[in-house]
């Protein structure tokens, strides 16, 4: 993975596979504390305690087609190489929370990358899932709620071309505004 936003896309697929109806993502970039962190919280089926302790192991996976699962181990390695860590807690039947912490200015920290692309794909592909996405950079912040958008859209789908284009622009503009109008992180 070349970007943290790709790890986020990958880990959020776990929430979707766990039949979550609500997935909440919060990304916080705090240059003062020199940290970047994100948390993904879902209301999916959760995992039993023995799975939670094993899931960092690449030879453990929830799927039945194959015996390796690399999503979480890759994220763990990406966080640890910047002096950070990941945390996972899960309750069977209630959901899972996973968070990752990175050293913001660490030379090995991958750029956050194209968050707009990650969210656009998820929102338009999984229309029956509610996504709440918050992104904060220093004191700047914005929040997107697909439930709020869906209330306005009614029967009109997110995959309707005009809606898709609007959502793409909306995400790109809000992401850019977080960095003072530049279209990516200033520290690329």
Partner 1 sequence: MKSLADLEAIRKKTLDQVTLRKDEDGVRIIVGMATCGIAAGARPVMNAFMEEVAKRNLEHVAITQTGCIGMCRLEPIVEVILPDKEKVTYVKMSPEKVAKVVAEHIVNGNPVTEYTIGAAE
Which residues of this chain interact with partner 1, rule CB under 8 A? 1, 6, 9-10, 13, 17, 63, 65-66, 69-71, 74, 114, 117-118, 120-121, 124-126, 148-149, 152-157, 159-166, 168-170, 173, 177
**Shortest distance, CB of residue 148 to partner 1, whole angstroms?**
7
**Shortest distance, CB of residue 105 to partner 1, whole angstroms?**
25
**Shortest distance, CB of residue 111 to partner 1, whole angstroms?**
14
Bridge partners (DSSP) of residue 30 are 35
Nearer to partner 1, 107 or 152 (CB): 152
Nearer to partner 1, 50 or 155 (CB): 155
Tokens describing residue 38: 């994100």
Nearer to partner 1, 17 or 33 (CB): 17
The answer to whether 63 and 51 are in contact (CB under 8 A) is: no
β-strands 95-103, 35-42 pairing: antiparallel
10 Å CB burial of residue 51 (0-12, 13-18, 19+) is: middle
Nearer to partner 1, 79 or 104 (CB): 79
- What residues have CB less than 8 Å from 117, skipping those under 6 apart? 5
Distances (CA, A) of 21 to 18, 43, 47, 183, 186: 9, 7, 16, 31, 34
* Residue length of the chain: 188
């Amino acid at each position: 993975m070349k970007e943290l936003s790709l790890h986020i896309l990958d880990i959020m697929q776990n929430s979707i596979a766990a039949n979550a109806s609500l997935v909440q993502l919060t990304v916080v970039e705090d240059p003062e504390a020199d940290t970047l962190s994100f948390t993904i919280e879902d209301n999916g089926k959760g995992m039993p305690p023995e799975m939670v302790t094993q899931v960092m192991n690449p030879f453990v996976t929830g799927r039945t087609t194959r015996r390796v699962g690399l999503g979480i181990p890759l994220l763990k390695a990406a966080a640890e190489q910047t002096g950070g860590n990941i945390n996972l807690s899960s309750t069977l039947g209630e959901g899972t929370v996973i968070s990752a912490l990175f050293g913001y200015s660490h030379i090995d920290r991958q750029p956050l990358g194209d968050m707009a692309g990650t969210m656009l794909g998820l929102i338009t592909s999984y229309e029956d899932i509610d996504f709440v996405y918050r992104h904060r950079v220093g004191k700047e912040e914005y929040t997107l709620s697909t439930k709020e958008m869906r209330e306005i859209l009614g029967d009109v789908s997110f995959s309707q071309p005009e809606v898709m284009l609007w959502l793409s622009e909306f995400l790109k503009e809000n992401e850019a505004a977080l960095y003072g109008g530049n279209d990516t992180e200033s520290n690329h």
